[in-house]
Amino acid sequence: MAAAKRWIPLSLLGLLLLLVAGGAGAGPAGEWTPVTDDRLLNADREPHNWLQYYRTHNGWSHSPLKQIDTRNVKKLQVKWMMSLGELGEQQSFPMINNGIMIVTAANIPHNTVYALEAATGRLLWKWTRKTPEDLTAFARIHPQSRGVALYENTVIVPTLDAKLIALDAKTGKQVWEATTADYKDGYYLNSPPLVAKGLLITGPAGPGEMGIRGWAAAFEAKTGKEVWRFSTVPEPGQPGGDTWAGDSWQRGGGSIWLPPTYDAGTDTVFFGASNPSPFIDSVRRGDNLYTNSVLAVDRATGKLKWYYQYVPNDAWDYDTMNEHTVLTIKQNGKEIPAILSFQKPGFMYALDRRDGKLIYAKKFIKNVDWAEGIDMKTGRPIEAAGKRPVMGGEKVPICPALLGGRNWVPSSYNPETGLVYVPTMELCMKYGYVKEVKWTRGLAYVGVSWDAVMQGENAGAIRAYNPNTGDIVWEHWVKAPPIHSGILSTGGGLVFFQTMEGQFKALDAKTGKVLYEFNAGNLASTGPVSYAVDGKQYVAVVVGGKTRIRGWLGAERKLDHLLNMNFNGLLMVYGLPD
């Protein structure tokens, strides 16, 4: 791939510098170096660091480090760990800048940020902030923190009361605070913003479940001042406003659950917008733009360049919030600049990132029956008959479950193998609407009831796909659905992840063979990251903190054993023996 050809020499150069002098742009281990726009745009020059959510703007979630490889991974051991508390959904991705790690915890009643020595876990500073006692329903029962963003000498913290807060990276003291929305309406921030050329670009969680309008927005990274805002639900008179019946747009949903990806060459940001609200389709007739869509937005202005809607008038909570991986697709001897995504409805999509034209779409899991396929002319799903529930009717058997063919945790693209690694699920559901749904400010606006159904003895798999064709190359089955088993691939030919049953695993990136397994005894919570300090490679992952297993899985008795898992949040760091 064209992108890979540019990437390889930078990575090799960065690795050489790491081994010889501590890494490109790096000071001594433990010394904070300003995280500039240039460093973020050229993150592959610093393989020892993890400076942003996906490590690189393109959403690859790949580390080129190769000290830990297929030959020695069996020697891996826990180097240190840290408790993050028992309450909340511990979903943080640690950020690492020259031996300093920043990690968060979402423990009601506090947002917490820790700065640690990345090699030892020694605490450098801690910042904590009490959350308001009147947090709305979803933020309170589902508190999350997926990490921070780094910019210059600040740590940018998203909060459960919809604020962005900048901390001094060396001391933890607050520098500035910006309010992005009124949390009492149901907005909250769970994921860090994308940092691109001086802007913090983000969107809120909440709209898809709370009956409010979603948006994406940009803020000055140095001050928090708002620069632009784009609504994911247009009002009457705006393009797409006619896809909402009556005043349903006012409570239309469209959350931005995750950081967007970014194509610096065209200055384009790619957002995945979530489901409409409420889940009941008859309340909001029409296609309901721009929910369940990918939005290609100009970074500097917020102007919409193009969009592609995956699921018009979504009836199943099939929100399409997952990352859009920026890469190059090879077909018929041609190279196509593309974005690739694996979304909850069970289909993978390759789109031309210049104009949103559909390159291909195909099922990436086995159990998909709500749609027969994707119409290549219109891009719309070909829905199967009888799969939309009826208000007050019997529950309908549907595949996949509303947890999706995959959930929010990241996939990973390895430019050396040319494969994309995805945590996939094979759960189905019995799904129906309640007889009445009423909107009340600050309360959930959903209106459905569902139960998970397993079709066999295994509810999911880690799968490797060829992005040029969408074909499965290998699969590693797991019993419990890998709801939060995010993926990390590395230059050492490995694929790391944590199972929902507490196993930390390393697979051979070419074959899927299990090369390492450690019983960490705690539920998967997010995806691993990798970094190096003083020439030693580490793999870090946050686990535990899950409090909603029964709510996810309903009456499926085959998964009852997950209720006995530990729920305390832990940061675990692995490395080779000294």
The tens digit of pLDDT for each residue in 420-455 reads 999 999 999 999 998 778 899 988 899 998 888 998
Confidence grade of residue 556 (pLDDT, cut at 50, 70, 90): confident
Q: Name the DSSP class of 72.
A: T
**Placement of tokens 């899927």 in the chain:** 512
Listed residue (448, 464, 453, 348) closest to 405, CA to CA: 348
What helix, strand, coil percent values describe the chain, rounded to 5?
10, 40, 50
Domain ranges (residues) in the chain: 2-575
- Tell me the pLDDT of the chain averaged across its residues: 91
Q: Region 199-215: what's the mean pLDDT?
A: 95
Confidence grade of residue 523 (pLDDT, cut at 50, 70, 90): confident
H helices within 445-541, ranges in order? none
| Rounded Cα distance, 539 and 84, in Å | 17
Q: What is the pLDDT of residue 436?
A: 78
Q: Is the pLDDT of residue 189 over 90?
A: yes
Write the pLDDT tens digit of every residue in 318-344.
Answer: 999 999 999 999 999 999 999 999 999
| Rounded Cα distance, 548 and 531, in Å | 31
Rg (CA), the chain: 22
Helix (H) or strand (E) holding 216: strand 215-220
Q: Is the pLDDT of residue 141 over 70?
A: yes
Q: What percent of the chain shows pLDDT beyond 70?
A: 92
Q: What is the pLDDT of residue 6?
A: 32
Q: What is the pLDDT of residue 195?
A: 98
Q: Is the pLDDT of residue 134 over 90?
A: no
Write the pLDDT tens digit of every residue in 266-301.
Answer: 999 999 999 999 999 999 999 999 999 999 999 999
Q: What is the pLDDT of residue 88?
A: 62
More confident residue, 6 or 299: 299
Listed residue (221, 230, 225) closest to 203, CA to CA: 230
Q: What is the pLDDT of residue 14?
A: 39
Q: Is the pLDDT of residue 4 over 60?
A: no
Our CA dihedral for 152, 54, 296, 6, rounded to 10 degrees, sits at 90
Count other C-beta atoms under 10 Å from residue 169's C-beta.
25
Are 150 and 185 in contact by the 8 Å Cβ rule? The answer is no
**Placement of tokens 């998970």 in the chain:** 452
| Rounded Cα distance, 365 and 380, in Å | 19
Kindly report which listed range (130-144, 217-231, 290-304, 492-506) carries the lowest average pLDDT score: 130-144
Confidence grade of residue 548 (pLDDT, cut at 50, 70, 90): low
Confidence grade of residue 479 (pLDDT, cut at 50, 70, 90): very high
Q: Region 535-562: what's the mean pLDDT?
A: 77
Listed residue (339, 343, 306, 303) closest to 321, CA to CA: 343
Write down the catalytic residue from 185, 263, 314, 317: 317
Q: Region 526-536: what's the mean pLDDT?
A: 96
DSSP 306-365: EEEESSTT-SS-----S--EEEEEEETTEEEEEEEEE-TTSEEEEEETTT--EEEEEE-S
Interior angle at CA 367, CA 365 and CA 369, nearest 5? 120
Are 572 and 469 in contact by the 8 Å Cβ rule? The answer is no
Tokens of 116: 């640690």
DSSP 124-191: EEEEEEEPPTT--HHHHHS-EE---EEEBTEEEEE-TTSEEEEEETTT--EEEEEE-S-GGGT-B--S
Q: Is the pLDDT of residue 210 over 60?
A: yes
Q: Which residues of 218-249 are buried (b: 16+ CB within 10 A; e: fewer)?
A: bbebeebeebbebbbbbeeeeebeebbeeebb
Confidence grade of residue 550 (pLDDT, cut at 50, 70, 90): low
Write the pLDDT tens digit of every residue in 14-71.
Answer: 333 333 333 333 345 678 999 999 999 999 999 999 999 999 999 999 999 999 999 9
Confidence grade of residue 191 (pLDDT, cut at 50, 70, 90): very high
Can 352 be counted among the known catalytic residues? no
Q: Region 503-529: what's the mean pLDDT?
A: 95
Kindly report which listed range (130-134, 192-196, 328-332, 367-371) carries the lowest average pLDDT score: 130-134
Confidence grade of residue 555 (pLDDT, cut at 50, 70, 90): low
Q: Which residues of 310-320 are buried (b: 16+ CB within 10 A; e: fewer)?
A: bbbbbbbbbbb
| Rounded Cα distance, 172 and 132, in Å | 21
Q: What is the pLDDT of residue 247?
A: 96
Q: What is the pLDDT of residue 546?
A: 59
| Rounded Cα distance, 545 and 272, in Å | 25
Pick the CATH number of 2-575 from 2.140.10.10, 3.40.50.620, 1.10.10.10, 3.30.420.270: 2.140.10.10
Are 401 and 429 in contact by the 8 Å Cβ rule? The answer is yes
